[in-house]
């Protein structure tokens, strides 16, 4: 049953929630709970009289009290648990606190700490958020969705938990990722929390540690595979379309083969995208666009080594390839500048391990003729760097210290300003640190990492690196697609988003080596991305016919600000 609906008083124009629950039920609803901020009138009319201490505190006072409590927590995991509890109690207070302390708290609610939390989720879970779809309840998906209390659902983040960050199969403990992504949609994009829904498809796990753990709360069976798995996903998507027509569906942290298959199968059937493929690729592309400006170079004048050809690596490579073709290169000429390295080494044509999306990236065997190799049967990263002379080095492998001092120094030989994107999360999985890059390149490297790193003091200078976080892309893409009522999310929308992000990096920031805007400006970044997506959707006939200023105004109006609004008691109608 819906617990509230947003209304506008026709006489005064006042916005308010018409609330359908009372007393303890109201206090236990995180969408609605104001705690000590309920007014005297609301306490009387909503059955709260006597349930709260007499003092009435405004949001600012609550923020002071809450932030003090946050600072008292002894470590990051306790801070994660505390913030999760706050989210479960009072969403307005949680999101305002997060908005006010974004740089400090995003690493707690998302990377890198969310990875640690997912590893222990069954042991630290206090309350359940979102929806768990399983083989046992998929037949009742309509009833599951109808049991939601929020007024509507416009945005869904879904995972099956098989590839959580760089940590692998965490089963239903992977729910920490959709919950975290929804928090970023709200904090960064301004999407209202009342229309967001995190979902986990719990189809079992192949992680023996979880199967043996008596405290694990997910399904204790090997993962569903093949036709049965695909049928469950199909029923899930159909259920979303029936119950939430027009909602955006974001695929998150699926295994590589599943991710590409789902994206291809559903991108034209339902408003959807895959953040690991498209979001990561677009964020990295934005960083590279800025790097090209700093270097006064073109994409076609660089050489790229990308290590780790899963979803993220393939997405990044395809974005670079698109830019090379936009600069006039043929498919073969673009291929010659991108050296893709995976578990089997350099991807070569004819390799039986090649998968569909990797084929356009595989080098012809003639390209390595004459290379000096340590092992002719396996062309590893050291061989590629030594022979291909890259100027851009990108890692998405979850292998810490993969980019050794030797590899970084070799890359620095071939360009005055090497670009290094070490993008694996969480922090301890990063391919190298910014400090390592600066030491190996004499402070000339341009660096972005997946998790945040502190500034580095080097030869009397303070050197900065950017956090290449998908947070720059997906909240704005989702907001823009919803505001402009897009019917599909296209590659062109992500390209427009990349350009919008890079354009926000100021000359002063470029001079400091930053490749992306600062995290404190993330809501403005999301607004710019949403506007760019709306314009692209309009121009290709998939969005509303508004001019540029109207799109910008619609985006700004759609961005929710966490604040308490008045409540009035009501009785739900059957059509609510």
How does DSSP classify residue 19?
Answer: E
In order of 221, 271, 498, 574, the CA distances from 268 in angstroms are 32, 7, 22, 33
The pLDDT of 49-75, averaged and rounded, is: 97
The pLDDT of 554-574, averaged and rounded, is: 92
Residues 6+ away with beta carbon under 8 Å from 139: 235
**Is the CB of residue 273 less than 8 Å from the CB of residue 489?**
yes
Token pair for 518: 């600062």
Model's pTM, two decimal places?
Answer: 0.94
pLDDT tens column, 47-60: 999 999 999 999 99
pLDDT tens column, 372-422: 998 878 899 999 999 999 999 999 998 999 999 999 999 999 999 999 999
**Is the CB of residue 161 less than 8 Å from the CB of residue 251?**
no
d(CA 559, CA 548): 17
Smallest Cα–Cα separation from 185: which of 569, 478, 429, 551?
478
pLDDT given for residue 291 in this prediction: 98
Q: What is the mean pLDDT of the chain?
A: 95
Token pair for 512: 């400091």
pLDDT given for residue 236 in this prediction: 98
Backbone angles phi, psi at 198, to 5 degrees: -85, 140
pLDDT given for residue 575 in this prediction: 54
What whole-number percentage of the chain has pLDDT above 70?
Answer: 99
Reported as type and span, the H/E element at residue 146 is: helix 141-146
| Burial class (CB within 10 angstroms; exposed 0-12, middle 13-18, buried 19+) of 541 | exposed
Backbone angles phi, psi at 480, to 5 degrees: -65, -45
Looking from the CA of 60 toward its CB, the CA atoms found within 13 Å total 0
Query: Other C-beta atoms within 10 Å of 169: how many?
Result: 20
How confident is residue 425, by pLDDT bands cut at 50, 70 and 90?
A: confident
**Is the CB of residue 282 less than 8 Å from the CB of residue 317?**
no
Protein fold of 278-364+374-471: Rossmann fold (3.40.50)
Domain ranges (residues) in the chain: 58-270, 278-364+374-471
**Fold identical between 58-270 and 278-364+374-471?**
yes
**Is the CB of residue 288 less than 8 Å from the CB of residue 392?**
yes
pLDDT tens column, 111-157: 889 999 999 999 998 889 999 999 999 999 999 999 998 889 999 99
**Is the CB of residue 18 less than 8 Å from the CB of residue 570?**
yes
Residue 191 CA, distance from chain mean position = 14
The pLDDT of 470-485, averaged and rounded, is: 97
Is residue 205 pLDDT above 90, yes or no?
yes
The pLDDT of 529-545, averaged and rounded, is: 97
Residues 6+ away with beta carbon under 8 Å from 362: 335, 340, 347, 348, 349, 351, 354
In the three-class reduction of DSSP (H, G, I as helix; E, B as strand; rest coil), residue 566 is classed as coil
Candidates 34, 181, 256, 429; catalytic one: 181
d(CA 320, CA 317): 5
Candidates 110, 216, 472, 567; catalytic one: 110
pLDDT given for residue 573 in this prediction: 67
The answer to whether the Cα torsion of 520, 525, 526, 527 is positive or negative is positive
pLDDT given for residue 358 in this prediction: 87
Residue 110 annotated as catalytic:
yes
Protein fold of 58-270: Rossmann fold (3.40.50)
Pairing of strands 345-346, 338-342: antiparallel
d(CA 188, CA 367): 44
Residues 6+ away with beta carbon under 8 Å from 230: none
Smallest Cα–Cα separation from 519: which of 534, 530, 504?
504
pLDDT given for residue 574 in this prediction: 57
What whole-number percentage of the chain has pLDDT above 90?
Answer: 91
């Amino acid at each position: 049953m819906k617990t509230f609906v947003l209304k506008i008083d026709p006489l005064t124009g006042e916005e308010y929630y018409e609330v359908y629950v009372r007393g303890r039920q109201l206090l236990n609803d995180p969408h609605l709970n104001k705690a000590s901020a309920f007014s005297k009138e609301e306490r009387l009319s909503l059955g709260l009289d006597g349930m709260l201490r007499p003092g009435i505190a405004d949001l600012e006072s609550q923020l002071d009290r809450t932030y003090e409590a946050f600072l008292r927590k002894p470590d990051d995991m306790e801070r994660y648990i505390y913030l999760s509890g706050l989210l479960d109690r009072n969403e307005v207070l949680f999101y305002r606190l997060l908005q006010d302390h974004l740089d400090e708290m995003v690493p707690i609610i998302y990377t890198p700490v969310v990875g640690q939390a997912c590893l222990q989720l069954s042991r630290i879970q206090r309350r359940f958020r979102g929806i768990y779809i399983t083989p046992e309840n998929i037949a009742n998906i309509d009833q599951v969705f109808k049991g939601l209390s929020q007024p509507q659902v416009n945005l869904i983040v879904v995972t099956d938990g098989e590839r959580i960050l760089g940590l692998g199969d965490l089963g239903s403990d992977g729910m920490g990722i959709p919950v975290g992504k929804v928090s970023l949609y709200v904090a960064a994009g301004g999407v209202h929390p009342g229309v967001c829904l995190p979902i986990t498809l719990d189809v079992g796990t192949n992680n023996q540690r979880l199967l043996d753990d008596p405290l694990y709360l997910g399904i204790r069976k090997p993962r569903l595979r093949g036709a049965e798995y695909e049928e469950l996903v199909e029923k899930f998507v159909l259920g979303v379309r029936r119950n939430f027509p027009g909602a955006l569906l974001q695929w998150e942290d699926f295994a590589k083969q599943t991710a590409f298959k789902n994206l291809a199968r559903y991108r034209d059937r339902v408003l959807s995208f895959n953040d690991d493929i498209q979001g990561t690729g677009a964020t990295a592309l934005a960083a590279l666009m800025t790097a090209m400006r700093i270097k006064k170079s073109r994409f076609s004048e660089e050489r790229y080594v990308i290590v780790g050809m899963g979803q993220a690596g393939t997405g990044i490579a395809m974005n670079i390839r698109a830019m090379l073709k936009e600069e006039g290169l043929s498919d073969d000429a673009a291929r010659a500048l991108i050296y893709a390295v995976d578990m089997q080494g350099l991807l070569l044509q004819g390799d039986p391990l090649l998968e569909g999306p990797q084929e356009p990236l595989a080098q012809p065997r003639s390209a390595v003729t004459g290379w000096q190799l340590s092992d002719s049967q396996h062309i590893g990263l050291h061989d590629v760097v030594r022979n291909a002379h890259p100027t851009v080095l990108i890692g998405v492998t979850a292998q810490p210290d993969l980019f050794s001092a030797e590899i970084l120094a070799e890359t620095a030989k071939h360009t005055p300003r090497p670009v290094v994107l070490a993008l694996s999360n969480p922090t301890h999985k990063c391919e190298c640190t910014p400090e390592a890059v600066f030491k190996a390149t004499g402070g000339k490297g341009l660096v972005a990492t997946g998790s945040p790193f502190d500034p580095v003091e080097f030869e009397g200078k303070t050197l900065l690196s950017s956090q290449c976080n998908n947070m720059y892309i997906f909240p704005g893409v989702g907001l823009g697609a919803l505001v402009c009522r897009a019917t599909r999310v296209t590659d062109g929308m992500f390209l427009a988003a990349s350009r919008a992000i890079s354009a926000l990096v100021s000359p002063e920031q470029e001079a400091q080596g930053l490749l992306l805007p600062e995290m404190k400006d993330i809501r403005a970044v999301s607004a710019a991305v949403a506007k760019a997506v709306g314009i692209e959707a309009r121009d290709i006939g998939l969005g509303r016919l508004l001019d540029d200023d109207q799109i910008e105004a619609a985006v700004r109006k759609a961005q929710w600000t966490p604040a308490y609004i008045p409540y009035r008691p009501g009785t739900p109608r059957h059509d609510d």
